[in-house]
Each structure stands twice: as C-alpha cells, then as structure tokens.
Amino acid sequence: MGFQTKAGVLKKYTEENGIYDVVIPDGVTAIGSRAFENCRNVKSITIPFGVTSIGSGAFYCCVSLESVTIPDSVTEIGNGAFHSCSELESVIIPDSVSIIGDNVFLSCQNLRSCEIQGSTTYIGEGVFFNCKKLRSVKLSDRLTKIGNSMFNGCQELEKLEIPESVMTIGDLAFFNCTNLKKIIIPDSVTELGGKCFMFCRSLQGVWLPASIKKIPEGCFACCVNIQNVICASDIENENHSAFFSDPIMKMKLGKPRTVQLSFLMVLNPSEILPFSAVPILKYYIFLKQSDKSEIYRFIKAVLWNRS
C-alpha cells in the first residue's frame, strides 16, 4: 500500500482508505508515468522540492483531485499528466518548468485558471483542449508557439493576452472558443494556422499586425459576430473561406479604405490618406500621416478594452 519507489522515481501510488490529501515523501526526484492513474479519491497532492519531472499520465483520471502543488524544482511536465482531472480548478506552473507536453490538462472540465510563469519555452498540442470552464490564462513571456488545438473548446475563455515572444499560432488553436470576444495578435506572430479562430461566435474584433501576410483557410469562419478586423499591411487572401463558412468572394485586404461586408470590416491604418476620417469600432478618427504610431496604439487599446 502507499508509495512504491525505485532509485528516486515514484513508480506507483496505491490509495489508502481515508487518505485524501497526499504528500509525496522527500527523496523522490521524479514522478513516473501513470503513477497516480485512477486514484479516484485523492483530493490534493503536494509534490516536494527536489522532484524534477512529472511523467506522462502521472495523474490521469484522478477525478477528485482539486489542487496540486508543483515546486520550482520541476523542469518538465509530461504528456497528459493531468488528463481528465475533472475537479482540478487552478494550477500554477512555476518558473522552473521549461517544457509542458501535449494534452497536459486535456478535459479538465472544471479548470478555471492557469498561470504559466516565465521560463516555459515549449507547450505542446492540445494542452487545454476541452477545458470548458477555463477563463484565465497567463502564458510565459518566453513562449514561441501556441500549439495546435491549445485552447480548442475552451468555451468560457473571453480574452487572452498573447506574449510578444510568440511567432506561430497553430491549427485549431482557438477553435470553438465560443465566448472569446477580443484578440490582439502581437507583431511577433508571422503565421496563423488553419481554422485557428473558427466558431469563435462571440469574437468582435481582431488586430492583425504587419507581420501577418496570409490568412489561412477557415481562420475566422463562422465567427458570426465579428465586426472589425484591423490589418496593418496588405494581406493577399486567395482563400475564399478565411472569413466565411461558404465561398462568397475573393478578397484583397489592406486597401486604403474601409470595406463593409455585412459583419466584416477591414481597414489598413498604414495606408490611410492624410486627414482621412475612417470609422473604427464606432469611433471617428482624424489623423495625419505623422500620427501612424498613435493610431496603432489607439486601435489596439479600443479592441482590447471594448466591452
């Protein structure tokens, strides 16, 4: 009963009657794959300082687990480590963690917040897939990619600040985030994945930086409430379904004008004529050529703070 360890690795934990709060003993340096699998009565786990890795599926299907304390000695969290921990509500990933594997919090349906601190450079695919109640996420400012399906099905997520270190947003990254209302894509991003914002039905405004040159298939398809897409440079879009669920028309975005297509508004602030008046999110702005940096900041502020 209890803990089975070998050479510092916790291989297996067997539940004991009446023990709901588990403290892993000192001397353990790694939690092995599936060590706590199906421990259905455990409510809290404290991991001691000295543990450096959490193995794949380590806490898989710990359906009563409400809290876990991860020390800042941990450097890696394996694939699916907390998969289907359906009562887990909040997690802090310490600064020491550099790698977070695929599907780590897959189907943690009561997870509401997650803070990923500064050193994490890699987060795998589907990390928050189907975390339906996730509302608050802080991403590491060293992260370079938002992986495929990272927030797929996070239906209560309303907004997310993407760090300026991110260069790529993967396929289906925000697919079916039905409450996502606003998103600002930083200037560091050069690539958007296919269908990455598809079915974001509450999305109202998007800022696309000059670094984005192409909008892929289905990127904003079925975003039925989108009103404003702000483009900072010419975007040649040969794909009919980037904004629409059905092919409607070819679009060339980024002309020095505002294009109104039912729920879609597109504008290129970098090419607005001097002293032009253009509608932006129900505001009228009179600007000079010399005011470009100010208009960029204004647009971003309105997009981010608009209720």
d(CA 100, CA 137) in angstroms, rounded, equals: 15
pLDDT at 301: 52
Banded model confidence at residue 119, pLDDT cuts 50, 70, 90: confident
How remote is the C-alpha of 122 from its chain's centroid? Answer: 13
Would you call 302 helix, strand, or coil by DSSP?
helix
Residues 70/92, Cβ–Cβ less than 8 Å: yes
Work out the mean pLDDT of the chain and round it to a whole number.
80
- Give residue for tokens 């070819």: 250
pLDDT at 215: 84
Say yes or no to pLDDT of 68 above 70.
yes
Query: Whole-prediction pTM value?
Result: 0.80
Nearest-CA neighbor of 182 among 151, 154, 204, 197? 204
pLDDT at 222: 83
Q: Which amino acid is at 87?
A: E
CA-based Rg of the chain, rounded to a whole angstrom? 22
Banded model confidence at residue 237, pLDDT cuts 50, 70, 90: low
How remote is the C-alpha of 267 from its chain's centroid? Answer: 26
Residue 75: count of CB within 10 angstroms of its CB: 16
d(CA 96, CA 52) in angstroms, rounded, equals: 9
pLDDT at 233: 65
**Which secondary-structure segment (H or E) carries 159?**
strand 159-161
Banded model confidence at residue 200, pLDDT cuts 50, 70, 90: very high
Say yes or no to pLDDT of 264 above 50.
no
How remote is the C-alpha of 163 from its chain's centroid? Answer: 10
Q: Which amino acid is at 23?
A: V
d(CA 198, CA 291) in angstroms, rounded, equals: 34
Residues 280-293 pLDDT 10s: 333 323 333 334 45
d(CA 71, CA 68) in angstroms, rounded, equals: 10
d(CA 138, CA 161) in angstroms, rounded, equals: 8
Name the more confident of 253 and 244.
244
Stretch 236-251: mean pLDDT = 48
Say yes or no to pLDDT of 8 above 80.
yes
Residues 139-159 pLDDT 10s: 999 999 999 999 999 999 998
298 φ/ψ angles, rounded to the nearest 5 degrees: -65, -45
Percent of residues, the chain, with pLDDT higher than 70: 74
